[in-house]
Amino acid sequence: MPDLFKFQLVRYSPNRLSEEFYNVAILLYGPDGKLAEARFTPDFKRLRCHPLTDVEFLERLRDDFEARHLAGEDFTSYVEDLRRNLSQGLHLSEEKAFLGGDPREEVERLAATFLATPKRSEVRPEEERPGTRRWILGRLRDTFRLYHVLDRLDADVAVGHFVSPRFSFRVDYAYRPNGRTHYLHALSLHHDMNDAPRLCFVFDRIRAQRGDADAMTAIVDDSLPADTRDLLASSRIQPCPVSKLDDLALTVRQDLGL
């Protein structure tokens, strides 16, 4: 059985007056609530691009952090003192929970996600800017992978046949708790007036043939206009904003009996 972990990110803001920040460390807490592992960012490549970054301060903090971590003794006390006495533009993110296994493996995975500088080939293209379907789908996948449910879902599910044998439409994910099918589909903010009516049309046809047992959740940007939300609701499609993906992942886990 996976264990329940929580983690926080230590963030650095070069300019305290702005909301811009960089993740510099991860604190991972085990099921008992105690510090299980921690990692500091392996490089300052992104930070060096900001003219107000105090690189010397961060290098001293990193060296102290890693020396205490390596020594092991009183490292937990050191981290707790760091949390209570944040300064020099440091602050903590909200705690996030997930289910995982070996703390060392989990902290390395989190570090790769939140701390590592992407290689040039991995930098997201312009079409993955916030609000695009690809960006929303990426957030969905990342969150479901974090909660160990992604591999439990059917992906790229063909549903066009509910409309016509000649109609092509695929839903991002589906799963079947208790014999009913629950569909999950990412919806673009920038093309909502084109994509939402099509999704409604398809799900109306699914419901017409299968009844009201099946369900559909559309993963949407938090700023999706109210009229688009109303349109989805008219076809009994539940919108889930990106900010609530953690809650959705927990619901899926519960539905699947995990």
- Answer with the one of 99, 120, 141 that is the final residue of a domain: 120
How many degrees, rounded to 5, is the angle at CA 9 between CA 7 and CA 10? 135
Cβ-proximal residues to 146 (8 Å cutoff; 6+ apart), any chain: 98, 249
3-class DSSP state of 62: helix
- pLDDT at residue 217, as a whole number: 94
- pLDDT at residue 128, as a whole number: 62
Q: Is the domain of 130 the same as that of 241?
A: yes
- pLDDT at residue 122, as a whole number: 47
Backbone angles phi, psi at 34, to 5 degrees: -90, 155
- Answer with the one of 89, 120, 151 that is the final residue of a domain: 120
How many helical (H) and strand (E) elements, i.e. helices and strands, does the chain have?
8, 10
Give residue 199's domain range: 126-255
Q: Is the domain of 232 the same as that of 183?
A: yes
Kindly give the confidence (pLDDT) of every residue in the chain, 258 residues in length, as a single tens digit, with 9 standing for 90 and above: 688 999 999 999 988 777 788 899 999 999 998 898 999 988 888 888 888 888 888 888 888 888 888 767 678 888 888 888 887 789 899 999 988 888 888 988 898 888 877 665 444 544 467 888 889 999 999 999 888 888 889 988 888 888 887 777 888 999 988 878 999 999 988 887 888 998 999 899 898 888 777 899 999 999 999 999 999 999 999 999 999 999 999 999 989 888
- Spell out the alpha helix ranges (H) of 10-54: 45-48
User: How does DSSP assign 224-257, residue by residue?
Assistant: --HHHHHHHHHTTEEEEEGGGHHHHHHHHHHHTT
Q: Is the domain of 130 the same as that of 251?
A: yes
- pLDDT at residue 232, as a whole number: 93
202 neighbors 159 (Cβ within 8 angstroms): yes
Q: How many residues does the chain have?
A: 258
Q: Is the domain of 14 the same as that of 75?
A: yes
pTM for the model stands at 0.54
- pLDDT at residue 129, as a whole number: 75
